[in-house]
Copies of this chain bind each other. A is one copy, B any other.
Amino acid sequence: MITYSDQVRVLVAVDCIIFGFDGDQLQILLIKRGFQPAKDQWSLMGGFVGKKETLDGAAERILFELTGLKDVYLEQLSAYGNPERDPIERTVSVAYFALIDINTYKTQISDRYHAEWFLINEAPSLIFDHNNMVEEAQKRIRYKAALHPILFELMPTKFTIPQLQNLYEQVYNAKIDNRNFIRKVNSTDLLIKLTEKDKSSSKRGAFYYTLDKTKYKAKFQSFLNFIPNPENLIS
């Protein structure tokens, strides 16, 4: 039998950067690591890739273990392979980022991991190179969301346009003109207007919308233009 016998074998892990939106604030889900090394430090949710698992499969499993969610937006970010990144043993990590609607998050399942949602700017420092992963994930999302409607993945099943604008403003750390934003979003024809209004944040109330999933899928790859002059915003 042929083998590649003289080569080094290493551990391969998957780490998930999980972004969530509760209709008001963009957050990130972190866990308190329950084992050595770096026990009790904050970390991304991760795990080793199983013997017969694909990378995507491992990411889905890890996300499911923590949140109880399936069929979530999940995209490979990058592979990280600095030989020193894990002090115990060389581990190559493939990072994925997920975008979820926090309202669907099942708390009970995650309890064993001591998971907690943090506002992006208030998140603690993380183990290994996880801070770097989070930064790169944010950049990727900013890049992609300027051209594709991925942030819709974070929205509750029904939401208002001002809520969506609020999310964009948090992602780009910028103030957006609400009048132009409303028109831009409506012009994509991706939303279905409901009759109900949300009156929690204004007297007049803002109409609720839901995502038209068929159109969403059809138009996902086309280049939209949600953010004016993205080059001025992306750091």
Q: Does A231 contact B (CB under 8 A)?
A: yes
Number of copies: 2
Q: A203 — which chain B residues lie within 8 A by C-beta? A: none
Question: Contact mask A143-167 → B, CB, 8 Å, 1/0?
Answer: 0001000000000000000000000
With A51-B83, A81-B49, A83-B51 as given contacts, are A11 and B7 in contact (CB-CB < 8 Å)? yes
User: Is the beta-carbon distance between B94 and A82 smaller than 8 angstroms?
Assistant: no
Q: Per-residue CB proximity of A89-100 to B under 8 Å, as 1/0?
A: 111101000000
> Which residues of chain B are within 8 angstroms of A12 by Cβ–Cβ distance?
10, 12, 81, 92
Q: Does more than half of chain A's interface fall in helix, strand or loop, or is it mixed?
A: loop
Interface string of A219-230 (1 = CB under 8 A from B): 001110000011
When chains A and B are docked, how far (Å) is the Cα of A230 from the Cα of B50? 39
Pairs A–B under 8 Å by Cβ, sample size 26: A2-B88, A3-B88, A4-B48, A4-B89, A4-B91, A7-B48, A8-B49, A9-B11, A10-B11, A10-B12, A10-B49, A51-B83, A51-B90, A53-B83, A54-B81, A55-B80, A58-B81, A76-B78, A76-B79, A79-B79, A81-B94, A92-B92, A146-B223, A222-B231, A223-B229, A223-B230
The 3 residue pairs across chains A and B that have the minimum distance between CB atoms: A9-B9, A55-B81, A222-B231
